[in-house]
Structure 1
Amino acid sequence: MLRLFSGSLAAMLLATSAPVALHAAEPAAVSSLVQAVDIPYEAFTLANGLRVIVHEDRKAPIVAVSVWYHIGSKDEPKGKTGFAHLFEHLMFNGSENANMDFFKPLEAVGATDLNGTTWFDRTNYFETVPTGALETALFLESDRMGHLLGAIDQGKLDNQIGVVQNEKRQGDNEPYGLVEYAQLAALFPEGHPYRHSTIGSMADLSAASLEDVKNWFRAHYGPNNAVLVLAGDIDGKSARPLVEKWFGAIPRGPETTRPQVTIPTLPKAVDQVMKDRVATTRIMRSWAVPGLNDPDTTKLDVGMAVLGGLASSRLDNALVRQDKTAVSISAGVQEFEKMSIVEITANVKPGVDPKLVADKLDALVADYIRNGPTEDEVKRAATRQVSGVIGGLESVGGFGGKAVTLAEGAVYSNDPAKYKKDLAEIAAVTPAAVKAAMAKWLTRPAYRLTVEPGERSEADVAIAGGIRSAPRYYRDPKAEGGAATVAASGAAVDRSKFPEVQPIGDLEFPAIERATLSNGMQVVLARRTTVPTVRIALSFDAGNAADPKAKLGTQALMLSLLDEGTKTRNSIQIAEEQERLGAAIGTSANMDRTSVTLFALKPNLAPSLDLLADVVRNPAFDPAEVERLRAQLVTSIAAENTQPRGIARRALPELLYGKVHPYGVPLSGSGTEAGVKAVTRDDLFAFHNAWLRPDNGKIFVAGDTTLAEIKPLLEARFGQWQPTANVAKGAKLFRMDRMARPPRIVLIDRPQSPQSYIMAGQLLPFKGVDDPLTFSAANEVVGGSFLSRLNMDLREDKGWAYGAFTSAPMVRDTMPLYLIAPVQTDRTGDSIAAAIGDVKTFLTTKGVDAEEHERTINNQIRSLPGSFETSSDLLGGLMSIDAFGRPDDYYTRLADRYRAITAADMDKAARAAIRPDDLIWVVVGDAAKVRPQLEKLKDQGIGLPIEDAKPGS
């Protein structure tokens, strides 16, 4: 089954496409879109069983390397939950011939899209590297596949157990963070492979011994249980000798025994109520259904899209738009190899009786199952799914990309081209087939969960601690001969040194073309013809900084209403039209800019632009829609005030900038509850007329079009657009108030939190328009990258955090520096002391060393081609050039500018800007447990006053 979360599918159509008729009466048929999708590949298998798939895509000098091991959490035996995910972490910590954090050599060669993930059915590792560094990636991936165990010791194991446990705490600490545990326990009986979560239990992780984890590796991580995909600037002829060289001598491993998986049916409906620190009651319905290779799964996927996945879904229209008893709806299929889970979720509008919503929801679902979808609904759902797939076609790797698509097909279905069958099924699905599949699977008893606002009870918390599977199997491969008895497929390669990195060229940014419409609006274009899609952004000089201080949230409410009704289209018509076209209109804002964006399939570009122009130019701000979206935004703000990260991000900007400065607003841009409630319909029109206007915006275009093609289309829709008469263009006043902002700790109480969310900040002595490139490079060393001093200390050395970092967001005016570290509760005070110590050491006695300098500069230069792989990347680059007043050749000159930066330059820039004693700290956590730790900081020479606050205060 095709999954949208896996991103892209393929190189589609031709590298360049011929002009198409843009005024077709009907949108392009799903079948025609599907037929053109193709990922040509070559495949071969080494003697040791490693399956290799190679896809050639020469659009950029990069290669995606993706290794998938067919082992996941469903394969874990009782007492070993979390082992697959724990091993994912350990396999980043060094191998016998590269005994270092794998991020170090990969960052040095400029890897992008670098990570690893574990899920129920697989573990994967991936990185996209410059072509000249391909052998480095192959050396590293092969070394951890065939030469890992000698590098694992008790210290590494203990550390990564701590890191994984903090990852679990971080997830559990979120609102609704215990829901998955409850869902799995209810849907699957004891002993079922999918019953326990991938993260595992605290007890099992703590009990993991060194021999346990080594046996786990020996049993499951051989080449015969893996698939290697190379996608990008490579072909099969060149790839085969390289793969043979690095992987050929790795011995075959034992065959992994696959657990038997049944699709359980509950004997009767299961009702459960949980309490959590949430903003609104959540109602959920879940069923266990077949896995991704079952023909019914496609039908269920389309059916759930119609029910609650589309913007125009049945449940959205009935509960969110019409009844206004829910603030959001979702429905979909979580697809896995051997089974899947259908989920329906409704977030109840505060003040509404959840039982009324639950009863109406169940009645709507029953009616839908009984009568099925219409042909138009199925067509819209299919178009939306295929369009979402095509939208990701440019990426060769990463979390989605073509490498992922080929690997998924090979691992789960023994067919790298499985995506073709999935797309064909989507195009061919009928209302009758959807109705039959839903009647077959969703008339069975459901798991019905309600999560209510309140404090977690002991029973709720206990759910997170110990869901384990019953005994299945756990064998010692040494008893069966294991890997050592299997002959290698080639002579051993010299692993005493890293392979030499071949020359890596600098970024070649596409030519930037410009034009001007009749009304003076500028058009900026960069062409990228890899796939037949076009991305457009209307960007306005507004942003969160333009939000009226007296009514914070005016902009957010206005933006949320743009696609909810125009003078000629209502919200349902807008949603349905996007779905028929396979288009997506979105709105966004950062501190400085407000954007309305369009993703369009090229065959449907003209009508998609018609819709975009109507949404931008003719908002209706219908009173009923205003009240509906106002309630949703107020609920969203309340939700932020239940999330540790959301609470901190709302509090810190005002502490740094003050109430007067335009940047002294919540980082989410959502505003305040009081502000949103005060906004009138006239305020919305006033904001739109002052800020979203042709003399305050520009049009940016990236994708498969030319300036000659796109300008007439834009001229017809925007060329005659004029500002509203007698309305002045908006203006932002950047000034600071005179209030003192002394360093201190603001402690925001969030009882029952297993982690404290630490976020500190200071203002830097420069602006984004100053282009502080040297400081940005220095920040990579102190906290900006995975290998930074801060992350290596709090995560890799001490194991107190899942991640810790610094960030210096690029804004036009005064830039901030943020230090962020979610840490286990009992180490809150220690973590603040350690972070301050790390920064001070960096600024004084231990500045940037030679290795850090070389790695950082190489990474910044070599990662540029991978950073601009897609038209979305290009669009962001065009908008950044404009926002900060940079020249068109800005990105092509970056490499030489980085080469000129010395370690001394980086030290100087950091020491002139960072003031660790002036940081203002926000700590969101269990105050009763945290305050004593903070008070003890004075014993370590950190005499920061402590202020108490509540979320939202």
Structure 2
Amino acid sequence: MIKLKQRLAVSLLALGITSALSAKPNSDVLIPNQSFTLPNGLTVVVHEDRKAPIVAVNVWYHVGSKNEVPGKTGFAHLFEHLMFQGSENYQGEFFEPFEQVGATEQNGTTNADRTNYFQNVPTTALDMALWMESDRMGHLLGAVDQALLDEQRGVVQNEKRQGENQPYGRRVWTELFRTMYPEGHPYSWPTIGLMEDLNAASLDDVKQWFRDWYGPNNAVLVLAGDIDLATAKQKVERYFGDIPASATVPKMKTWVPERKESTRAVLSDRVPQPRVMRVWNTPPTNTTEANQLDVVAQILGGGKSSRLSRRLVHEEKLADSANAFGWAQEISGNFMFMITVKKDAEVAKVEQILNEELARFIKDGPTTEELEQARTVIKAGFIRGIERVGGFGGKSDALASCQVFAGDPNCYAKDLADYEAASAADLQKVAAKWLAKGDHTLVIEPGEVALGAQEEKPFSTPSKVHAVKPGKVDSTFKTVKTDVDRSQGVPKTATFPDLSFPTLQRAKLSNGIEVVLAERRAVPVVQLSMEFNGGFAADQGRKLGTSSFTMAMLDEGAGDYDSLGLSAKADALGANIGAGASLDGANVYLSALKDKLEPSLDLFADVILRPRFADKEIERVRATWIAGIEQEKSRPNSLALRIMPPLLFGEGHAYAMPLSGSGTAASITSLTRNDLVKFHQDVIRPDNATLIVVGDTSMAEITPLLERRFGSWKAPAATLDLPEVAAVELPQHSRVFLVDQPGAIQSNIFVGQVVPSTKDAKALDFDIANGVLGGEFSSRLNMKLREEKHWAYGSYSFTQGAVGQRPWVAFAPVQIDKTIESLTELKQDIGAFARGEAKISAAEADKIKLNNVRSLPGAYETAGSVMNQIGGILRYQRPDNYVELYKQHNEKISLDAVQAAAATIQPAALTWVVVGDLGKIEQAIRDLKLGEVKVMDADGNPLR
């Protein structure tokens, strides 16, 4: 429920919200809204968008970790978790009523400045959503007891462990901001808190936190979507009007600490390559200078053709990535460079180049071309973002953020004006003012973690200037009477909106390429995806990773453009263009602004038809690719998913490769240009292609444009020959594979087997059964290991869509001292589920089926979601009305069929993979006798 890198995540989210540009803001970049305030101080913002029968319900509380004090850090985030555990009038997981009505995009997040809770619900379920949100706002404390606090404390601590168990995750962000902000600054401690503080949190502490800050006068409610002002006023007053105000959150003064000297520190961690992070303190949100620094960040490190990426990644080949970004928070901001250095490169040389490029920018400023390109990229990102009413960075987030931090839901209009008005001289000046001194450089280098390095240092008492204490409740706040009888429980949703999926239109180009179009007019964007059969599976008979590597090379130079030239041209057009592969397919995609469609299509055609496969680009991408494989192997989850498919399918099988499709270091090292050209000739051909188009266009408009670019493309004489995916048998007995991760503070447990294809007539039966076991937040595995035992931040199960047999996998990252207990619980619960000893109840099955059906109206809000569904229709040879058939199948499937599908899982044939510190867990796992135990290295080679 919280982003692992809280500070970074909120900054990027804020960029997605406010990064827009238009000389004269128009309907493409504005979010029309109306506001009102209840007598108790609750501010409500309403945005009407009737494209889908859903309403985004987004509640922001103006309280975050900066409102804490040392010794009691992590309270804001801990309370976010507690508020998902039911209320005085609803006893149970907060997610359950929302799952029953088909809510989408449901989550909550905390950062230094605010806590939010959000979900998209069908229009007819709005009363339920408002009842639930108001019940936890006004009727929570009676439901919070010691057992609940202990439970969620354990969940949060495992969330913290999960983040710190990742490469570059241990102590990095805590130490970085402890250095950037002086003692007592409320941004100096991490949002997730210190482990000692979480352990010390008492029931009285957390209840007082709620009393102090969680009143309606400290909240903003945004309703966006299928709603109007009159309806919003009536419903919000009815559900929220009787909640009394609390003390008002005191407004903190801006505090941007001045740092006059450059400082530097080095941390050792078990990481595959060095990373350089350089940070400055900068102005807070809603300031012109903060917006100007966003443009500076885009020019210096915002994309492939940015200055740092151009020099460090493409020219000097010293780094695998070089990024810059600014993020502005309420009382201060930061600007950061993050450079992942090649394993054998000199960090000092990288830092020297960073110094040179920054000094050059401060001295000379940006070019006119760079400035215009940055503006276009930012504008295009904003337009794409406001297609959604809810979720991370959608319209409701934009409006809530502006209302909370600026007191005006339309504050983004100022950002638009700032971006448009920013001149080259302005950017040069703002960079010189804020980025010329006072930086801190943190280098994370490969090495062993010193003993005691995991211990957290406490924070000292804050300065009196920024001590936060609640005052008295403002006597002007009043409550209003309501007719809501909360003893009757959650309002029942009796009816649901009809499913609406766009009609698919079909046509053919003169060379036989089929075009499938779904018109969507919400934003002036057209998205295209040229789809090909033969993805990772087409690596069979080739070197592993050939499909992914070839597709990744398509946009590394094509037609008249080298790699940087192609990226710069796409940025200048505001286009997103790229290519990739999946288990059974490959695609090249384009997202184009409507008014730049034709030149964007020219680039799209170049990438598909005329890739360069230049040797220098192959070698550059190869080095970065191999570094990426090492990164996969350093992350416990991705490491397990690298080695698991070969164990499930057997060596030589079409699916026996890392689930990412990245291949191995050896296979990628051996790839030649001829290998890539051969794959392109064999797979990227018109008789293996279908073109999906979704967006602001018509078949009459788009077909001639496509014909002009692809109609003369001819298939090669050689017959299209894609490998068949062979069926495999389950193993005769369970097997256990262990991978050592010395020093790990969690064990990452994975267990799986193969199950029938996505195309199987009973695939949905199994998917519903899997939903009961581990597919949802309230499913059995998560309820056991997270909510009941609080040994894990989450435990789920999933299937990967596949033309052949699918991999089914359950997983749980657990605290390392509960590894054996967690394995025991997983074995018992999965076994009892599969054998029918713990039968699926009608309520459990109905919850999954109803969620599948009732989420459909909101599932296709965006063009991207429509495109993904069309891709599945094509890949699995489904009828065009598949979405309607899917709805009907869910409604008709019997409990007996779901129970029978659970037996697809064979407890005696499961394959277990555990990644953790074997010095602490190996012998105890062997003593469990789950099956034959083997220890493997990170490449899947047996060690013992």
Query: Do both share a fold (TM > 0.5)?
Result: yes
Residue 579 of structure 1 corresponds to 571
Residue 763 of structure 1 corresponds to 754
In the superposition, relative to structure 1, how do residues 428 and 547 fare at CA in structure 2: closer, same or farther (>3 Å)?
A: farther
Matched, 1:604 2:596: yes
Following superposition, the deviation at residue 553 of structure 1 comes to 1.9
Q: Trace 1:359-758 onto structure 2 (pairs within 5 A).
A: 359-458=352-451, 460-462=453-455, 466=458, 470=462, 487-491=478-482, 493-496=484-487, 497-548=489-540, 550-723=542-715, 725-735=716-726, 742-758=733-749
Matched, 1:264 2:272: no
Residue 151 of structure 1 corresponds to 143
The alignment yields a C-alpha RMSD, in angstroms, of 2.1
Matched, 1:947 2:929: no
- What is the aligned counterpart of 2:106 among 109, 114, 121? 114
Identity %: 43
Which residue identity is paired with 2:550? Answer: M
In the alignment, the residues of structure 2 paired with residue 92 and residue 740 of structure 1 have an alpha-carbon distance, to the nearest angstrom, of 41
Structure 1 SS opposite 2:803: coil
Which residue identity is paired with 1:677? Answer: T
* Unaligned segments of structure 1, at least 5 residues: 13-28
Structure 2 SS opposite 1:575: helix
Following superposition, the deviation at residue 40 of structure 1 comes to 1.3
In the alignment, the residues of structure 2 paired with residue 311 and residue 493 of structure 1 have an alpha-carbon distance, to the nearest angstrom, of 55
Residue 929 of structure 1 corresponds to 920
Q: Trace 1:179-258 onto structure 2 (pairs within 5 A).
A: 179-258=172-251
- What is the aligned counterpart of 1:829 among 815, 820, 833? 820
Alpha carbons 1:585, 1:599 under 8 Å: kept: yes
In the alignment, the residues of structure 2 paired with residue 676 and residue 592 of structure 1 have an alpha-carbon distance, to the nearest angstrom, of 20
Residue 355 of structure 1 corresponds to 348
In the alignment, the residues of structure 2 paired with residue 690 and residue 460 of structure 1 have an alpha-carbon distance, to the nearest angstrom, of 53
Structure 2 SS opposite 1:321: helix
Structure 1 SS opposite 2:634: coil
Alpha carbons 2:758, 2:876 under 8 Å: kept: no
Following superposition, the deviation at residue 720 of structure 1 comes to 0.9
Alpha carbons 1:202, 1:465 under 8 Å: kept: no
Alpha carbons 2:39, 2:480 under 8 Å: kept: yes
In the superposition, relative to structure 1, how do residues 166 and 117 fare at CA in structure 2: closer, same or farther (>3 Å)?
A: same
Alpha carbons 1:292, 1:335 under 8 Å: kept: yes
Which residue identity is paired with 2:320? Answer: V
- What is the aligned counterpart of 1:806 among 797, 818, 837? 797
In the alignment, the residues of structure 1 paired with residue 932 and residue 476 of structure 2 have an alpha-carbon distance, to the nearest angstrom, of 65
Matched, 1:782 2:769: no
In the alignment, the residues of structure 1 paired with residue 829 and residue 460 of structure 2 have an alpha-carbon distance, to the nearest angstrom, of 39
Which residue identity is paired with 1:637? Answer: I
In the superposition, relative to structure 1, how do residues 208 and 219 fare at CA in structure 2: closer, same or farther (>3 Å)?
A: same
Following superposition, the deviation at residue 147 of structure 1 comes to 0.2
- What is the aligned counterpart of 2:267 among 259, 268, 274? 274
- What is the aligned counterpart of 1:134 among 114, 126, 150? 126
Alpha carbons 2:645, 2:655 under 8 Å: kept: yes
Following superposition, the deviation at residue 770 of structure 1 comes to 3.6
Structure 2 SS opposite 1:421: helix
Which residue identity is paired with 1:126? Answer: F
Following superposition, the deviation at residue 903 of structure 1 comes to 2.2
Structure 1 SS opposite 2:486: coil
Q: Under a length normalisation based on structure 1, what TM-score does the superposition of the two structures give?
A: 0.94
Alpha carbons 2:756, 2:763 under 8 Å: kept: no
- What is the aligned counterpart of 1:60 among 48, 52, 58? 52
In the superposition, relative to structure 1, how do residues 739 and 838 fare at CA in structure 2: closer, same or farther (>3 Å)?
A: closer
Which residue identity is paired with 1:873? Answer: S
In the alignment, the residues of structure 1 paired with residue 762 and residue 407 of structure 2 have an alpha-carbon distance, to the nearest angstrom, of 50
Alpha carbons 1:660, 1:736 under 8 Å: kept: no
Residue 772 of structure 1 corresponds to 763
Following superposition, the deviation at residue 559 of structure 1 comes to 2.1
Structure 2 SS opposite 1:271: strand
Following superposition, the deviation at residue 6 of structure 1 comes to 4.8
TM-superposition CA deviations, 1:526-553 (whole Å, max 9, x none): 1111111111001110211112555212
Further displaced range: 894-903 or 666-675: 894-903
Following superposition, the deviation at residue 420 of structure 1 comes to 1.5
In the superposition, relative to structure 1, how do residues 141 and 468 fare at CA in structure 2: closer, same or farther (>3 Å)?
A: farther
In the superposition, relative to structure 1, how do residues 577 and 30 fare at CA in structure 2: closer, same or farther (>3 Å)?
A: farther
In the superposition, relative to structure 1, how do residues 489 and 279 fare at CA in structure 2: closer, same or farther (>3 Å)?
A: same
In the alignment, the residues of structure 2 paired with residue 7 and residue 314 of structure 1 have an alpha-carbon distance, to the nearest angstrom, of 20
In the alignment, the residues of structure 2 paired with residue 114 and residue 88 of structure 1 have an alpha-carbon distance, to the nearest angstrom, of 13
Following superposition, the deviation at residue 37 of structure 1 comes to 2.0
In the alignment, the residues of structure 1 paired with residue 627 and residue 719 of structure 2 have an alpha-carbon distance, to the nearest angstrom, of 33
Alpha carbons 2:552, 2:578 under 8 Å: kept: no
Residue 848 of structure 1 corresponds to 840
TM-superposition CA deviations, 1:305-351 (whole Å, max 9, x none): 10011221011111111111111110111221221111102111221
Which residue identity is paired with 1:205? Answer: L
Matched, 1:5 2:16: no
Structure 1 SS opposite 2:23: helix
Which residue identity is paired with 1:291? Answer: P
In the superposition, relative to structure 1, how do residues 2 and 184 fare at CA in structure 2: closer, same or farther (>3 Å)?
A: closer
Alpha carbons 1:46, 1:248 under 8 Å: kept: yes
In the superposition, relative to structure 1, how do residues 492 and 96 fare at CA in structure 2: closer, same or farther (>3 Å)?
A: farther
Which residue identity is paired with 1:175? Answer: P
In the superposition, relative to structure 1, how do residues 283 and 735 fare at CA in structure 2: closer, same or farther (>3 Å)?
A: same
In the superposition, relative to structure 1, how do residues 592 and 405 fare at CA in structure 2: closer, same or farther (>3 Å)?
A: same
Further displaced range: 253-262 or 712-721: 253-262
In the alignment, the residues of structure 2 paired with residue 227 and residue 362 of structure 1 have an alpha-carbon distance, to the nearest angstrom, of 43
Residue 857 of structure 2 corresponds to 865
Which residue identity is paired with 1:313? Answer: S
Residue 918 of structure 1 corresponds to 909
Structure 2 SS opposite 1:594: strand
In the alignment, the residues of structure 2 paired with residue 205 and residue 815 of structure 1 have an alpha-carbon distance, to the nearest angstrom, of 41
Following superposition, the deviation at residue 242 of structure 1 comes to 0.4
In the alignment, the residues of structure 1 paired with residue 375 and residue 218 of structure 2 have an alpha-carbon distance, to the nearest angstrom, of 34
TM-superposition CA deviations, 1:815-846 (whole Å, max 9, x none): 12101111100111111110121122323232
Alpha carbons 1:300, 1:333 under 8 Å: kept: yes
**Number of paired residues?**
927
Alpha carbons 1:251, 1:489 under 8 Å: kept: no
Structure 2 SS opposite 1:712: helix
In the alignment, the residues of structure 2 paired with residue 324 and residue 34 of structure 1 have an alpha-carbon distance, to the nearest angstrom, of 42
Alpha carbons 2:252, 2:331 under 8 Å: kept: no
In the alignment, the residues of structure 2 paired with residue 577 and residue 32 of structure 1 have an alpha-carbon distance, to the nearest angstrom, of 24
Alpha carbons 2:757, 2:802 under 8 Å: kept: no
Following superposition, the deviation at residue 805 of structure 1 comes to 0.5
In the superposition, relative to structure 1, how do residues 715 and 925 fare at CA in structure 2: closer, same or farther (>3 Å)?
A: same
In the superposition, relative to structure 1, how do residues 568 and 265 fare at CA in structure 2: closer, same or farther (>3 Å)?
A: same
Following superposition, the deviation at residue 560 of structure 1 comes to 2.2
Which residue identity is paired with 1:102? Answer: F
Which residue identity is paired with 1:228? Answer: L
In the alignment, the residues of structure 1 paired with residue 905 and residue 49 of structure 2 have an alpha-carbon distance, to the nearest angstrom, of 43
Residue 16 of structure 1 corresponds to none
Following superposition, the deviation at residue 260 of structure 1 comes to 4.0
In the superposition, relative to structure 1, how do residues 618 and 348 fare at CA in structure 2: closer, same or farther (>3 Å)?
A: same
Following superposition, the deviation at residue 257 of structure 1 comes to 2.4
Q: Under a length normalisation based on structure 2, what TM-score does the superposition of the two structures give?
A: 0.95
Which residue identity is paired with 1:720? Answer: S
Which residue identity is paired with 2:725? Answer: F
- What is the aligned counterpart of 2:163 among 147, 158, 171? 171
Following superposition, the deviation at residue 646 of structure 1 comes to 1.4
In the alignment, the residues of structure 2 paired with residue 632 and residue 460 of structure 1 have an alpha-carbon distance, to the nearest angstrom, of 30
